Chain A
Amino acid sequence: MKYADEFRDKAIAQGIARAIGAEVSSQRAYRFMEFCGGHTHAISRYGLEDLLPANVRMIHGPGCPVCVLPASRIDMAIRLVDRPEVTLCVYGDLMRAPGSQGQSLLRAKALGADIRMVYSTLDAIRLAEQAPSREVVFFAIGFETTTPPTAVMIRIAEKKRLKGLSVFCNHVLTPSAMHSILENPKIRDTGGVPIDGFIGPAHVSTIIGTQPYEPLAEQFGKPIVIAGFEPLDVMQAILMLVRQVNEDRYQVENQYSRAVTREGNRRAKDEVSQIFELREQFEWRGLGLVPNSGMKLKPAYAQFDAEARFAIHDLRVADNPACECCAILRGAKRPVECKLFGTVCTPETPIGSCMVSSEGACAAYWTYGRVRDEQLRRTS
């Protein structure tokens, strides 16, 4: 496959693996967090950990928007779609995301709620055009990469005077979450894993650039490499992190120079800043309330804001106490260290959201990594 196979070349991978092996110091451990679920997926799907030296460990971060969505937001969506006039448009991964007390959108749909699985914002626009008497609500979710398409959708709705279309906004910000992980006292003080560096998501940086990470690298003294999602991208990023650690550097480096710049996509950023503003705080599963980490629509666009339009207020829902998603999302525990993993919590019946999306740390382990874990369990 052109433009993909080039980045999956076994011989080059082995070359990078040899370079990593030659450059790591046997005197220390290297613990790198890949923030984004896309990287977790690539690491598991291609078995990258088999190519790394034993003292290089990858920690799976919270960068899957479905995984970090708290149960309260699912409950709010269910409240929305309980209204008979509402048609809720959602991406497929969200259907099984657990709300409180065993609720999910899949279950709500089976009970008669009008929930449609869509593949893009354009599907929601089409639905709103086809059914002008319905209240079509788009369940917007994702990091900085998916916010511009939502902004464009609102622009189109404005232009076409689609009065029935609105957005349930759950867009979140990557650097704020990274900041929260580094600042979290639980990670610093209580058995959390010290992180030696981050792999940052390239698709987010195609929008925001690499610049927003610079204060983080500086403040916490941690190297950050912005990397693509092909296995060779990830391998190269690990090598770049190893070199920074060895040289006591903590810079933001750009592995994905084929699409990412320091400044990012100015037009997309402008469009987003015209329509969205920061929430004071937003709840993340596993991280709790994180300041300045979520987006909402500006008051000028309140007519497109489902939360304002239907007066749906924030809920607070406690997670299952046995679920270790919190610790796993912060890199403090591995999936196999959770009592629920693989027993009551499986991809078919997810308890925690790390199991819901194929990009979630637990689901990726379940699907791709159990062999390795079985070996770890036996040897530890």
Chain B
Amino acid sequence: MSVKSYQRKLDLENGRVDLSHGSGGRAMAQLISGLFHQAFGNEWLARCNDQSAFDVAAGRMVMTTDGYVVSPLFFPGGNIGSLAVHGTINDVAMSGARPLYLSASFIIEEGLPFSDLKAIADSMGAAARSAGVYIIAGDTKVVERGKADGLFISTTGIGIVADGLDLSADKAMVGDRVLVSGSLGDHGVAVMSKRQNVAFQTEVVSDSAALHKLVAVMVAAGGSGIRVMRDPTRGGLAATLNEIAHQSELGFRLQEASIPVKPAVAATCELLGLDPIHVANEGKLVAIVAPDFADAVLAAMKAHPLGSDAADIGEAVADNRKFVQMATSFGGRRIVDWLWGEQLPRIC
């Protein structure tokens, strides 16, 4: 739909989204062309169709979908938009795939300032460009005040995976090494520091990042020696390893002293009664790697900027109870369980 030039421009400084921007009329078209196309700009969106056609490469495709409801929308190190792009890319990349295209659907609460929406869309565009992926389809809905917390974003991602690579969480084997790409808990702590009723000052910023380039160097170094990759988002490292333990029907034994955690994250968790291995990450991955390949993969990770703090933190062991256990830095042992309920600070 072409937009008539006599229409008043979007007031990106002081304007706010209202219900007309989701009505299917001219205001919506103006929002899409004036804000989203500007931010995401690519040849597919420029054609203004209800869908985008693209050539299918040879090989196996992977697809993922994800919803983003983070509160607050802006946090140290990113916002809901960059998070949506990184998170979707990472879900595609954990299969060893090269991510290609994304779609993004926006559910906007009326009253959201255009300036916020623009900042979010711009950072999505920037995140996609720097990752070399394109946002080629989208949708916009506006709901009444109180029906959404500012903005929700749903995304889908498509990528292509090289022949011979078949990573899956049921493929871990006894003796495999557990590698993490860097310090844990940064994202969760950064977001919590801005929550209304726990606000605190911290130097910690979200680790939100696209990991597919790190994955590519790992795959180059380890090939099919890499059995599983997963990004430990909600529920943290603990949830991810418990999932893999269940799917692969084995246990893990970790060394607490080897697990990288920044002092500021450790201190915040201490204060709030949380455990860093339960706190969310958005720019870290866990890889389960065959022992013969572990050193090479770890070296490749360390050589990449997103893996410079990578560490070997333990191994897969035979265990029909599928426990994730940890040797504590203190010299004892404990179980690393799933996070249960919401992660709530203890009260005394």
Q: Is B344 an interface residue (CB 8 A)?
A: yes
* Shortest Cβ gap from B250 to chain A (Å): 15
Q: Is A319 an interface residue (CB 8 A)?
A: no
Q: Is A131 an interface residue (CB 8 A)?
A: no
A348 touches B340 (CB 8 A): yes
* Residues from chain A with Cβ under 8 Å of B323 in the complex: 370-371
Question: Which residues B318-348 have CB closer than 8 A to chain A?
Answer: 321, 323, 325, 327-335, 337, 340-342, 344-348
* Residues from chain A with Cβ under 8 Å of B346 in the complex: 41, 93, 357-359
* Residues from chain B with Cβ under 8 Å of A8 in the complex: 329-330
* Distance A14 CA – B110 CA, assembled complex (angstroms): 61
* Residues from chain A with Cβ under 8 Å of B327 in the complex: 47
B334 touches A38 (CB 8 A): no
Interface range, A side:
35 or more
B347 touches A50 (CB 8 A): no
* Shortest Cβ gap from B337 to chain A (Å): 5
Closest to A118 in B: B197
Q: Is A368 an interface residue (CB 8 A)?
A: yes
* Distance A6 CA – B73 CA, assembled complex (angstroms): 38
Q: Is A96 an interface residue (CB 8 A)?
A: yes
B329 touches A1 (CB 8 A): no
* Distance A366 CA – B335 CA, assembled complex (angstroms): 8
* Residues from chain A with Cβ under 8 Å of B337 in the complex: 347, 366-368
The interface-forming segment of A142-150, A185-193, A281-289 is A142-150
* Residues from chain B with Cβ under 8 Å of A107 in the complex: none
B334 touches A13 (CB 8 A): no
A46 touches B347 (CB 8 A): no
* Distance A8 CA – B329 CA, assembled complex (angstroms): 8
Q: Is A132 an interface residue (CB 8 A)?
A: no
Q: Is B57 an interface residue (CB 8 A)?
A: no
Q: Is A220 an interface residue (CB 8 A)?
A: no
* Distance A26 CA – B69 CA, assembled complex (angstroms): 59
* Distance A184 CA – B273 CA, assembled complex (angstroms): 33
B340 touches A347 (CB 8 A): yes
Q: Is B162 an interface residue (CB 8 A)?
A: no
Q: Is A309 an interface residue (CB 8 A)?
A: no
* Residues from chain A with Cβ under 8 Å of B46 in the complex: none
* Distance A369 CA – B326 CA, assembled complex (angstroms): 11
A92 touches B335 (CB 8 A): no
Residue-wise interface mask of B (292-331) relative to A, using a CB-CB cutoff of 8 A (1 in contact, 0 not): 0000000000000000000000000000010101011111
CB within 8 A of B347: which of A92, A347, A369? Answer: A92
A45 touches B328 (CB 8 A): yes
B347 touches A93 (CB 8 A): yes
* Shortest Cβ gap from B147 to chain A (Å): 16
Q: Is B263 an interface residue (CB 8 A)?
A: yes
* Residues from chain A with Cβ under 8 Å of B197 in the complex: 118-119, 123
Question: Which residues A131-167 have CB closer than 8 A to chain B?
Answer: 141-143, 145-146
Q: Is B270 an interface residue (CB 8 A)?
A: yes
* Distance A87 CA – B337 CA, assembled complex (angstroms): 34
Given contacts A50-B331, A92-B345, contact A371 B270 (CB under 8 A): no
Interface of B is mostly: loop
* Distance A348 CA – B198 CA, assembled complex (angstroms): 24
Q: Is A48 an interface residue (CB 8 A)?
A: yes
Q: Is B148 an interface residue (CB 8 A)?
A: no
Residue-wise interface mask of A (62-94) relative to B, using a CB-CB cutoff of 8 A (1 in contact, 0 not): 001110000000000000000000000001111
Question: Which residues A1-26 have CB closer than 8 A to chain B?
Answer: 1, 4, 8, 10, 13-14, 17
* Residues from chain A with Cβ under 8 Å of B62 in the complex: none
B331 touches A13 (CB 8 A): yes
* Shortest Cβ gap from A17 to chain B (Å): 8
Closest to A122 in B: B197
* Shortest Cβ gap from B310 to chain A (Å): 22
* Distance A25 CA – B13 CA, assembled complex (angstroms): 77
* Distance A357 CA – B346 CA, assembled complex (angstroms): 8
Q: Is B266 an interface residue (CB 8 A)?
A: yes
Closest to A235 in B: B330
Given contacts A118-B197, A369-B335, contact A48 B330 (CB under 8 A): yes
* Shortest Cβ gap from B248 to chain A (Å): 19
* Distance A95 CA – B266 CA, assembled complex (angstroms): 26
A10 touches B342 (CB 8 A): no
Q: Is B220 an interface residue (CB 8 A)?
A: no
* Distance A368 CA – B341 CA, assembled complex (angstroms): 16
* Distance A94 CA – B346 CA, assembled complex (angstroms): 10
B263 touches A1 (CB 8 A): yes
* Distance A100 CA – B348 CA, assembled complex (angstroms): 25
Name 30 interchain pairs, CB-CB below 8 A, sorted by A: A4-B270, A10-B329, A38-B348, A41-B346, A45-B328, A47-B327, A50-B331, A50-B333, A64-B348, A66-B347, A92-B345, A93-B346, A95-B341, A118-B197, A119-B198, A119-B345, A141-B347, A146-B347, A346-B340, A347-B337, A348-B341, A357-B346, A358-B273, A359-B346, A359-B348, A366-B337, A368-B334, A371-B325, A371-B334, A371-B335
8 nearest A-B pairs in the assembled complex, by CB-CB distance = A47-B332, A92-B344, A347-B340, A368-B334, A46-B330, A50-B332, A91-B347, A47-B333
* A residues apposed to B, CB below 8 Å: 1, 4, 8, 10, 13-14, 17, 37-38, 41, 44-51, 64-66, 91-96, 117-119, 123, 141-143, 145-146, 203, 231, 346-348, 357-359, 366-372, 374
Q: A118-B197, A369-B334 given; name 10 further pairs at CB < 8 Å.
A: A10-B330, A38-B348, A46-B330, A47-B334, A65-B347, A92-B344, A92-B347, A93-B347, A366-B337, A374-B321
